[in-house]
């Protein structure tokens, strides 16, 4: 999301490393330390407010956590060990703790990723991974995927319109073969386009790197300190929780 907050202006590599450390603190937190999870949640909500992330933007992204919540809800019923009666249902105590652990940590992890992606453009994210020494092959694939994803989706949509205009009805299962053929055609055309594009770029002196985005400046000590301070707070809470539990 566009913005002019302090989080938006931080170099991407600083925010990526901070998000990884923050997620590590959340995962390491003992599952019985409710107060520690509350502190992590308050910290993340503060970051969301500092980044001016609207609720309308965050609400849809939080649905990514829904599969984890569904999986966690089954643990009290299938867990082993001592059981407890709740509203006439026999629930596993260990399963309850496991469900809480998965639900809490997955939700906080999704919010952490939301803060990062909402305050950093995709181009700056890829450049930040490059500066963190992620293998160049992976970052190049991400660059090209970002640049040509809309083109591929548009081509698939045009082929779908062409099928429907010729009497194809995608609501019937036995017409799934046409959809598969369309997907294969798009894949072949994308592969051929990628080969042509590589030849064109090499002929123009491409050296395997893209220019960084306008907001991806070289970080100084102040940038690293500001970005890593929330992670330091989260790890401080986690270490205290580990000592107490």
pLDDT of residue 15: 92
Residue 215 has pLDDT above 60, yes or no: no
Average pLDDT over residues 14-42: 94
Does 40 lie in the same domain as 11?
Answer: yes
Q: How far apart are the C-alpha atoms of 139 and 145, rounded to whole Å?
A: 10
Q: Would you state the structure tokens that stand for residue 63, as one six-digit string? A: 């649905």
Does 179 lie in the same domain as 92?
Answer: no
Average pLDDT over residues 50-70: 85
pLDDT of residue 129: 87
Highest mean pLDDT among 15-29, 124-138, 194-208: 15-29
DSSP code string of 174-227: GGHHHHHHHHHHHHHHHHHHHHHHHHHHHHTT--S-PPPPTT-PPP-HHHHHHH
Does 149 lie in the same domain as 196?
Answer: yes
Does 225 lie in the same domain as 106?
Answer: yes
Does 228 lie in the same domain as 198?
Answer: no
Average pLDDT over residues 59-87: 81
Residues 99/133, Cβ–Cβ less than 8 Å = no
Which residue shows structure tokens 């890593």? 228
| List of residues 6+ apart from 17 with CB closer than 8 A | 132, 227, 228
Does 112 lie in the same domain as 11?
Answer: yes
Domain extent for 173:
135-203
Mean pLDDT over each residue of the chain, to the nearest integer: 83
Does residue 129 lie within any of the structural domains? no
Residues 8/51, Cβ–Cβ less than 8 Å = yes
Q: How far apart are the C-alpha atoms of 137 and 209, rounded to whole Å?
A: 10
**CA R_g for the chain:** 23
Question: Which letter, b or e, does each residue of 199-216 get, where b requires 16 or more Cβ atoms within 10 Å of its Cβ?
Answer: eeeeeeeeeeebebbeeb
Give the CA distances from residue 119 to residues 7, 15, 24, 60, in Å, rounded to whole numbers and listed in that order.
6, 9, 20, 16
Highest mean pLDDT among 89-103, 139-153, 186-200, 221-235: 221-235
Residue 85 has pLDDT above 80, yes or no: no
Q: What domain count does the chain have? A: 2
Q: Which helix (H) or strand (E) holds 11?
A: none
**Residue 213's pLDDT band (boundaries 50, 70, 90)?**
low
pLDDT of residue 174: 61
Q: How far apart are the C-alpha atoms of 99 and 211, rounded to whole Å?
A: 45
Does 116 lie in the same domain as 10?
Answer: yes
Does 105 lie in the same domain as 37?
Answer: yes
Q: What ranges make up the beta strands (E) of the chain?
A: 83-86, 89-92
Residue 214 has pLDDT above 60, yes or no: no
**Residue 218's pLDDT band (boundaries 50, 70, 90)?**
confident
Q: How far apart are the C-alpha atoms of 242 and 117, rounded to whole Å?
A: 30
């Amino acid at each position: 999301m566009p913005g002019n907050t302090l989080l938006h202006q931080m170099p991407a590599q600083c925010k990526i490393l901070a998000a990884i450390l923050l997620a590590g603190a959340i995962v390491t937190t003992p599952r019985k330390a409710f107060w520690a999870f509350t502190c992590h949640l308050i910290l993340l909500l503060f970051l969301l407010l500092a980044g001016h992330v609207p609720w309308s933007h965050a609400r849809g992204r939080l649905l990514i956590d829904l599969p984890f919540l569904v999986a966690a809800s089954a643990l009290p019923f299938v867990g082993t060990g001592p059981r407890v009666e709740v509203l006439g249902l026999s629930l596993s105590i260990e399963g309850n703790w496991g469900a809480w652990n998965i639900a809490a940590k997955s939700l906080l992890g999704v919010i952490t990723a939301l803060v990062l992606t909402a305050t950093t453009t995709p181009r700056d994210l890829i450049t930040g991974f490059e500066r963190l020494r992620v293998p160049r092959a992976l970052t190049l694939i991400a660059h090209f995927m970002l640049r040509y994803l809309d083109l591929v989706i548009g081509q698939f949509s045009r082929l779908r319109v062409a099928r429907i205009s010729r009497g194809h009805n995608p609501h019937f299962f036995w017409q799934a073969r046409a959809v598969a053929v369309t997907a294969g055609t798009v894949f072949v055309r994308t592969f051929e386009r990628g080969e042509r594009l590589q030849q064109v770029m090499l002929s123009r002196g491409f050296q395997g790197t893209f220019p960084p985005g306008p907001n991806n400046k070289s970080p100084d000590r102040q940038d690293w300190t500001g970005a890593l301070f929330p992670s330091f707070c989260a790890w401080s809470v986690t270490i205290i929780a580990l000592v107490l539990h």
